[in-house]
Chains A and B, each alone.
Chain A
């Protein structure tokens, strides 16, 4: 029982090292699938033995590391982290499976994918702010290489843009973490990087950062928020995402969209909401978050409508979908917050299918430009079927997980943010619009003979997409298995906020 989380993180790490050392791609992918599979089994065990009724940290582990600075390795899961750990462990093995045919420097490719798993698992389970930050940064490096080595024609530009954007945001967040840390050190006389401890001591901060403009508390809040929403990403800090996606290899896109973006949302629930009531101007900050959310939804939707590249369209749809996370979190109603958490989980599954579809099309038909495709359903029937299912899930069709999430967010956010919900509703029609328009032009209609001979996805590609679709439907019909633990924690979070007297 003990040390399961660190085991779950260590196994992919060891797997990654072995993968780097392997000689053939067959060995590399076998090791990668095996180690991520073991990690999946551990997380499944954790998930099944998780107590959904409790909002406290479970499977807690703690090891001394740098005592003189108060840094220790602390891991644990609650209803916020557990579903995302499960999601990471679902997505990575499927990504490895999807990329089963990778030939270019295969050992490094699979190794980097496993390193991504190490990074995100660490982010979602560490409870020490310093360790959290280390994992947060670890995630960047493999992704940089995934884009810059296996990427498309403009890979260097995109990789650098991705790195600079997210790294600058991380640094701003690091500044905020340090100010929390030194503040707590000053008060208690003892260094301690414990996440909950630092967040509790946030309320003891005082004074102005710039007299009359912004207080220290608000500045720290905004810095942390900045760190998270750039990762999500929210408008206007989103332009790295489409570029990164367009150039990244399919596996990279899947991981980027399904897992890396979730880190931002995770930060909202783990860090932002607990300190929100103690900030100096919670109402303004809530409104700020709600505006960011709604602008992301609408802006992302319209931008998706304007795209000619299928993958870029999907990238913009991610921005719109992540807007629901921000909106639901800002509404501060238990079910809206858990709806936002569920949106994270569900979007991770859905976007995986979408990017995999783009990958199969790129691979099979040689282009992703919607206008150059046309009628590919005729020669790629399996892909067309799964892609259709993925697109329907993405546009929020009931019976699939995306609907549950968006329904919960919209219905419950109406209590506190009615205007924003009405605006978000406008987005729904256009969301359906760009999905169906793209399907109509790319997949249906008469076959574009200029494409020449095209072929359907390989079996391993189709299989990993099919698994994701089944999961989407499963969680769309039976959301309780993850929704219950989310709701428990969301209620805890919101009660905590309400106790501090913020009722919006």
Chain B
């Protein structure tokens, strides 16, 4: 029982670190790393609940999620590389093309 809470606590800490990273960091790479952290926090939760409930479906989802995260990271880095070529920077403060 208490095992679950500790897993969840670890996941929450990891998630918070990730969220903090997204908000405070300016570098695109660091933000992507932070996103990975948040994703993995969710994976920890999935595996923890799966084990707790004795249902393997959660672990399957975690595997999926890891695969998708890899793909997402690849795309994310690709975008950053392109951005760097175009703008000579990956400092996201300067990149506000989402605006309007």
The reply to whether A and B meet directly (CB within 8 Å) is no
